[in-house]
Chain A
Amino acid sequence: MQFGHTRYSADDFYDELIDKNGEPRRHARELVEYFSAMEPGELIERQRAVDSTIVDMGISFTIYSEGDNIDRAWPLDVIPRAMPGSEWDTVERGLIQRVTALNHFIDDLYNDRRILNDGVVPAEIIDSSKNYLEPCRGAKPKHGVWAHICGSDLVRDADGTIYVLEDNLRVPSGVSYMLENRNVIKRVFPSIFRNHRVRPVSEYPSALNAMLRSIAPDEIEVRPEIVVLTPGIFNSAYFEHSYLARTMGIELVEGADLLVDDDDCVYMRTIEGLTRVDTIYRRIDDTFLDPEAFRPDSMLGVPGLMRAWRAGNVALANAPGSGVADDKVVYSYVPDIIRYYLDEDAIIPNVPTWRCSDPKHLDHVLANLADLVVKPANESGGYGMLIGPHASKDEIARFRDLLKADPRNYIGQPTLNLSTAPALCEAGLEPRHLDLRPFILQGEDVAVTAGGLTRVAMRKGSLVVNSSQGGGSKDTWIIEDDD
């Protein structure tokens, strides 16, 4: 494959668009031809058009730097990432299977605890998890669903196998960027969509709205009042909170806008007076939700919210306590969890994982730190992890101490050779590593986004895709097969 004068090569990695012989993969043929036909200068022009469209549309994210909040323009690479529809259909089935099992698991943990009593998952793993919340014991959310919105990170290894790297069951973010990436690419390349059958993503806000409606308390007969609860304008995902509220046509509220009255119902303060709220899509972490139940110093939450939720007077998405299932030690049990509740084998495999809580596993991890990725059990955003092959001797020594001091809090995984796709870099098109975060909605029904948010590590050789750490993104195309 040729881009301008340089020949594109992804070396030993699996490239999403180009095969080992340098030819476009079947599903990506027209996409690659379209961009190959462009002069390098034109490609740079298009990237500029993408960048300025993003500024004009006000698509931004916030980062913290030295105590200041800075709004940055969202980074989007000009070349889409594509997957064939037939492959995606399998992934979608796998994601539905996974979320269904995880919701059975969470419901079980807070109620009968069968899986612990049957010894499939050790009880001490759950009881020592800081995401296991005792105040949720005995709660019965509608449809038995706790994690209504799940963002599972998928990666592809050198042999082409797709793995689930982690499940985000607390307040996964990024879906607004998936939607806006498509809007921007449609604006800059209107003609390209004519020759491709790309599955649309734009129905997500209405699917989200339908899901949130389906979990409203039963006695609500008229249109339920649904709100998005944000920590406020200083939160790094505020753009997304405001975007989702706007596209769903519902109020964006802060904790101070809500109150729980003596009837244990939640009300919103409006100029019409107090208005009953039925479903809250909360983008606040569990322990900040209710100063009466959790952190008494939380200024973000609503006193009494847990009371109202336990009484069944308000639905919270995701339900508090759902995070117990995205602990990375629990992650290592997901294939067993799927088998236990659904009597099926996992359709999408897990990345092999060593649990440092197990002394044998810990020895293995300590002996192979330079080759492994080590992650803390409960962090997100790519923080606090060690990528062995890229780490200095000092860092490895530091992690050796951390692991010995608190083995329960760490897991080890082999360093995957994450797949790549061509991205426009200073020197032209170069392979860059990427992952994929689809979003799965479960209420009365289950729905999966067609594709998801593709995040790209824009620095050469880097595996870190987080936007707070120099990551970029791509529009993600699920292309119908020709058959």
Chain B
Amino acid sequence: MLSRAAERVYWTGRYLERTEDAARIVQQYSQLLLDLPYEVGVRWIELVRIVGSAASYAETGLPETEDHIVRFLLGDKNNAASLLSSLRMARENVRNTRDLLPQESWECVNELYQYANDAIATAVDGEARFDILAECIGRCQQINGVLHGTMSHRAPFHFLRLGQCIERADMTSRIIDVAAAYLKRNETLVRRYGSVLWTNALKSVSAFQMYRQYRQPQVVGYEVIDYLVRDNDFPRAIRFCVDRAKASARKLPRADATVAALDEVIDFVRPLDAEHVTAADISAFMDSVQKRLGVVHGHVVDTWFLPEDAS
């Protein structure tokens, strides 16, 4: 398989996941704000910081109000991390790898792009936002259904899944970070609203139901963190994503460095004792997870996308 094709399929996986995650995280935050009183101190600018766009938002010089921030995160074409930018990149990559991906996936991605391009401006408005984001998430899942349901499990599939799993693990770590950020604030308020905060975190990765089924009916902060970080069976838990990424990497040639880097992520998250760490530690822990995923990405690029030495 050509390196360029592998790279495009890998980025298709990442950008598709990023599109869905952008919708999920804005959806989560919008819901959260409806449930919490103003004094808890949940601010939209926090979300910009969590997704790693604080510097680029500061450059825009825009006020830190909901409408500007939501527009920046969803529809701003100049923001490379916005939903629409991610989707445009996903579409470009799918278009260039049409020979490798199922025909329907191109049609679905193209239709989603047309839909989002028309609808996203309206999603800035609070009234329509929920429905439009729910539609985007649903369509992303449809695309995933096509890809996972009809692609042979050969190299292109493994690059796609590698990209998706790395991106997904990264986003789960950020969603935990969103919730943990408030634990640092005001102990009394957090004691009162903690379960709202954590329920919301679970819902944003569609984990609420599975958590209650396989962990416990009560939503307890450290238990949620443990579930989303260390669970072996939930598809959006960090541990699960990294395991899947590893399974795909092992099907590819010359995977040693990437597999070793993935093992390091596993070794890092496995001993986490969420019950006995502080909120600040959680934040630092998630930063480390993200950095380690970045190392994995570096090995993927060096090994498969930029081979420079004659074999």
Contacts and interface: CB of A to CB of B under 8 A. Distances in A.
Nearest to B303: A271
A275 interface: yes
A187 interface: no
B307 A274 contact: yes
Interface in A265-286: 267-275
Interface residues of A, number: 20
A476 interface: no
B139 interface: no
A127 B6 CA distance: 45
B304 interface: yes
Contacts of A274: 307-311
A257 B99 contact: no
Contacts of A261: 310
B2 A273 contact: no
Given A261-B310, A275-B311, A270 B99 contact: no
Given A233-B95, A274-B311, A257 B254 contact: no
Contacts of B305: 269
Contact of A242 (B99, B253, B309): B99
Given A272-B253, A274-B309, A275-B311, A253 B99 contact: no
Contacts of A256: 4
Contacts of A268: 2
Nearest to A267: B310
Contact of A269 (B2, B155, B252, B254): B2
A271 B10 CA distance: 12
A257 B3 contact: yes
A252 to B, nearest CB: 8
A15 interface: no
B209 to A, nearest CB: 38
Nearest to A58: B103
Interface in A233-270: 233, 242, 246, 251-254, 256-257, 261, 263, 267-270
Nearest to B3: A269
A256 B310 CA distance: 16
Contact of B254 (A233, A253, A263, A273): A273
Interface residues of B, number: 20
Chain B interface secondary structure, helix, strand, loop or mixed? loop
B96 interface: yes
Contact of B2 (A233, A246, A257, A263): A257
Nearest to A242: B99
Contacts of A267: 310
A171 B23 CA distance: 47
Interface in B125-163: 155
B307 A269 contact: yes
Given A246-B99, A271-B155, A257 B4 contact: yes
B62 interface: no
B34 interface: no
A271 B6 contact: yes
Interface in B253-311: 253-254, 304-311
A253, A254, A273, A275: which has the most chain B beta carbons within 10 Å?
A: A273
Contacts of A253: 2
Contacts of B155: 271
B1 interface: yes
A247 to B, nearest CB: 12
Contacts of B96: 233
Nearest to A261: B310
Contact of A251 (B2, B95, B252, B308): B2
A246 B4 CA distance: 17
A271 B159 CA distance: 10
Contacts of B2: 251, 253, 257, 268-271
28 contacts: A233-B96, A242-B99, A246-B99, A252-B99, A253-B2, A254-B4, A257-B3, A267-B310, A268-B2, A269-B3, A269-B4, A269-B306, A270-B2, A270-B3, A270-B307, A271-B1, A271-B3, A271-B6, A271-B155, A272-B311, A273-B253, A273-B254, A273-B307, A273-B311, A274-B307, A274-B309, A274-B310, A275-B311
Across the A-B interface, give the 4 residue pairs with the lowest CB-CB distance, nearest first.
A273-B311, A269-B3, A271-B304, A273-B307
